[in-house]
Amino acid sequence: MTATSPVLITGCSSGIGLASALRMHRAGLTVYATARRPETLTRLAAEGIRTLRLDVTDEASMRAAVDVVEAAHGSVGALVNSAGYAMSGVAEEAGLDDMRRQFETNVFGLARLSQLVLPAMRAARRGTIVNISSVFGRYAVPGGGFYQASKHAVEALSDALRLEVADFGVRVVLIEPGPVRTTDFGATYVANLKPMTEDYDEFRRRTAEYFDAIYTGSRRTLAGTFAIQSDDVARVVERVVRSSRPRARYPVGLLARSTIALRRLAPDVVFDNLFVRRVFPVPRDESRRQPPRPQPSPSPSPSHEGDRR
């Protein structure tokens, strides 16, 4: 990819999107950084990066951003779909509106933006679409089922799209990070763990502590110890954007590579019991773990021996 081929990145207000915009701009690439709220992009604008408003749940803003890039360059050279957030909570208690909002942002927005850039990419016979997935696009753990389902959907969509557009010179690549120490993302995830019914209350508490430890480093956990930084992911994104023959998938971080390999090789019962239940909080029926309450001895029945008549 040449320095003048534009890179359009979503979700640049923080995290992976921000780090990717900075890294590629400093490497000499033409970058258009976008976010739902343009005021969050002042740091990038100060670096000389072109900034645009782009809300992946708003058709008009997506069209307008793509039009700006295509008017200046003919086509988008690389689209990096980084915008997203994680809905948390047990599946039983998830609200339908929350489920729809999760998929609107993480799946439908990504899909629609890809549709908007593809006609010009096909006409130019070149282009790269980079979809930021997750290690949770390959397996799932309790407490994040709908976020993880959205990433599974991104994986399937990317697989299909990669085959559909390959002969037109367009590449579609998945980036699968392990836990990323991103304060904003983690704070949102923990904050979304709303009060649950009594049976799940202890699970909620342990889950909040677990993910807070990963994202803030407040205490040592396996995932927290091996958590990566946003720039680790951005480095891989840049490599993909520059590559003429990128791979279909790039797991990022030791945990991503090792656990994806384990998931591929281990039967479900082994993966569940030897990995998920040992590493992640899992809901437990606390009533079964409490000793039974002593039952009062029945009162003796009164004797009527002397009451015969």
Q: How confident is the model at residue 254 (pLDDT cuts 50, 70, 90)?
A: very high
CA-CA distance, 187 to 216, in Å (whole number)? 9
- Summarize the chain as % helix, strand, coil (round to 5): 55, 15, 30
Give the number of C-alpha atoms closer than 13 A to the C-alpha of residue 22, restricted to the C-beta side: 19
Percentage of the chain exceeding pLDDT 70: 84
Say if pTM beats, i.e. exceeds, 0.75.
yes
State the Cα angle at 70 between 69 and 71, rounded to 5°.
95
Percentage of the chain exceeding pLDDT 90: 74
The count of residues in the chain is 309
pLDDT value of residue 181: 82
> For residue 301, is pLDDT > 70?
no
pLDDT per residue as tens digits for the range 94-103: 999 999 999 9
> For residue 303, is pLDDT > 50?
no
Give the number of C-alpha atoms closer than 13 A to the C-alpha of residue 148, restricted to the C-beta side: 15
Is residue 69 within 8 Å of 8, Cβ to Cβ? yes
The predicted model gives 256-263 an average pLDDT of 96
pLDDT per residue as tens digits for the range 200-229: 989 988 888 888 777 766 556 656 667 899
pLDDT value of residue 309: 36
> For residue 230, is pLDDT > 50?
yes
Q: What is the DSSP letter of 10?
A: S
State the Cα angle at 201 between 198 and 202, rounded to 5°.
125
Q: Which one is catalytic: 32, 85, 147, 215?
A: 147
pLDDT value of residue 308: 40
Sign of the dihedral defined by the CA atoms of residues 255, 184, 239, 146, in that order: positive
What is the amino acid identity at position 281?
P
- Mean pLDDT for all residues in the chain: 89
189 is catalytic: no
Domains of the chain: 6-184+229-254 (3.40.50.720)
CA-CA distance, 220 to 94, in Å (whole number)? 29
pLDDT per residue as tens digits for the range 27-75: 999 999 999 999 999 999 999 999 999 999 999 999 999 999 999 999 9
pLDDT value of residue 151: 98
Backbone angles phi, psi at 258, to 5 degrees: -75, -40
pLDDT value of residue 212: 79
Is residue 33 within 8 Å of 44, Cβ to Cβ? yes
First to last CA, the chain: 110
List Cβ neighbours of 180 (8 Å cut-off, separation of 6 or more).
15, 16, 227, 228, 229, 230, 232, 233
